[in-house]
Amino acid sequence: MHVLLDVLEKAQKKGVAIGHFNVADLVLLKAAFEAARELNVPVLVGASRGERAFMGVDQIAALVRSLRGEFDFPIFLNADHTHSLPEALEAARAGFDSVVFDASALPFEQNVRQTKEAVEALKAIKPAILVEGELGDIGVGSEIHEEAPDLAKGLTDPAEAKQFAEATGIDTLAPAVGNMHGMLKSMVRGETRKHLDIARIAEIKKAARVLLTLHGGSGTDDEDLRKAIAAGINVVHINTELRVAWRRGLEEGLARQPNEVIPYKILSSAVESVKQVARSRLRLFNGDGVTREIVA
């Protein structure tokens, strides 16, 4: 049986991170799963509120469960950015392996109170579920932004992170360490990259002593990601890069076969395009040394 906490603890010991890819349809799910299987590394797929609404909470849970069972493979499902207890509980009941309870827009004391309440309620119905809390400002929207938001004031303070982790009982913390949801146009063009505050990550890890997730990993400098993982990041979220690849792949599929109407023939280009991104990110998160092809 595959258990997310075991997988994360094992990865932490090895000094590698788990890739988290958002999925909004079967193209993204297939691409993330196939990339992970080819490299034989565990993978976490996530569904945000909009993605859950589109796919169906129970339906995405059933899909991931069936992949894990049929292929005996460590693929796990995260409810990304839930903002209320009812939606967090809905995901837990559906069988999600982890929940991001995001009250980071609220003042510190309210964030603590609501996150603690969520941890207790979620663990009461599913003790093995992992709960992630969020502290600091990492912006909103995994999409292409015109301008960079000013997130400098919202960076996570290590002492607050410690207090937050202890007071709430979270398994995982999502800090603000120079990361940001979405990508700028210049990042999509490959002209600029995000940079991370590595020293802050190390301080937060030392103080809070919990698992750490890096949200908004798309467009981040490769070397910064390697250093962030070495400093204590356990999970890296990639969403916008996949969305860009999804769109490009779909456009290619349509352009290459202008008279085709069979969906799976058109969509295979999108699967391939997303898979390329997922594969290269998983390689990086797993120490670049991952070349083993899984025996089918």
Q: Considering the rule CB under 5 A, would residue 215 count as an interface residue with Zn ion?
A: yes
Helices within the chain (DSSP H only)? 4-14, 26-39, 49-55, 57-71, 85-94, 108-125, 158-168, 185-188, 198-208, 222-230, 240-256, 263-285
User: Minimal distance in Å, beta carbon 66 to Zn ion?
Assistant: 26
Q: Provide the 10 A C-beta neighbour count for residue 69.
A: 11
Both tokens of residue 273? 């395009």
* Residue 235 β-bridge partners: 18, 213
User: Minimal distance in Å, beta carbon 72 to Zn ion?
Assistant: 29
Candidates 14-22, 34-42, 215-223, 264-272: pick the segment binding Zn ion (CB under 5 A): 215-223
Q: Residue with structure tokens 């997303």? A: 274
Please give the residue whose beta carbon sits closest to Zn ion in the complex.
215
Candidates 90-98, 111-119, 165-173, 214-222: pick the segment binding Zn ion (CB under 5 A): 214-222
Binding footprint of Zn ion, residue count (CB under 5 A): 1
Q: Provide the 10 A C-beta neighbour count for residue 124.
A: 10
Distance of CA 222 to the CA centre of its chain: 17
User: Minimal distance in Å, beta carbon 30 to Zn ion?
Assistant: 22
Q: Considering the rule CB under 5 A, would residue 194 count as an interface residue with Zn ion?
A: no
At residue 154, the 3 state secondary structure works out as helix
* Residue 218 β-bridge partners: none
* Residue 99 β-bridge partners: 79, 131
Q: Which is nearer to Zn ion, 116 or 215 (CB)?
A: 215
Distance of CA 59 to the CA centre of its chain: 19
Q: Which of 25, 80, 157, 222 is the catalytic position? A: 80
Q: Which is nearer to Zn ion, 246 or 253 (CB)?
A: 246
Distance CA 134, CA 155 (A): 11
Q: Which is nearer to Zn ion, 51 or 269 (CB)?
A: 51
Candidates 6-14, 39-47, 201-209, 211-219: pick the segment binding Zn ion (CB under 5 A): 211-219
**Looking only at residues 117 through 176 of this chain, which bind Zn ion when binding is defined by CB under 5 A?**
none
Q: Which is nearer to Zn ion, 271 or 281 (CB)?
A: 281
Q: Which is nearer to Zn ion, 197 or 253 (CB)?
A: 197
Question: DSSP secondary-structure letter at 7?
Answer: H
User: Minimal distance in Å, beta carbon 121 to Zn ion?
Assistant: 21
Distance CA 39, CA 33 (A): 10
User: Minimal distance in Å, beta carbon 112 to Zn ion?
Assistant: 20
Instruction: Confirm whether 157 is a catalytic residue.
Output: no
User: Minimal distance in Å, beta carbon 81 to Zn ion?
Assistant: 6
Residue type, position 188, single letter: V
Question: DSSP secondary-structure letter at 220?
Answer: B
User: Residues with Cβ < 8 Å from 191, sequence gap 6 or more?
Assistant: none
Candidates 143-151, 213-221, 241-249, 282-290: pick the segment binding Zn ion (CB under 5 A): 213-221
Q: Which is nearer to Zn ion, 162 or 215 (CB)?
A: 215
Question: Can you give the binding site for Zn ion, defined by CB under 5 A?
Answer: 215
Active-site residue list: 80
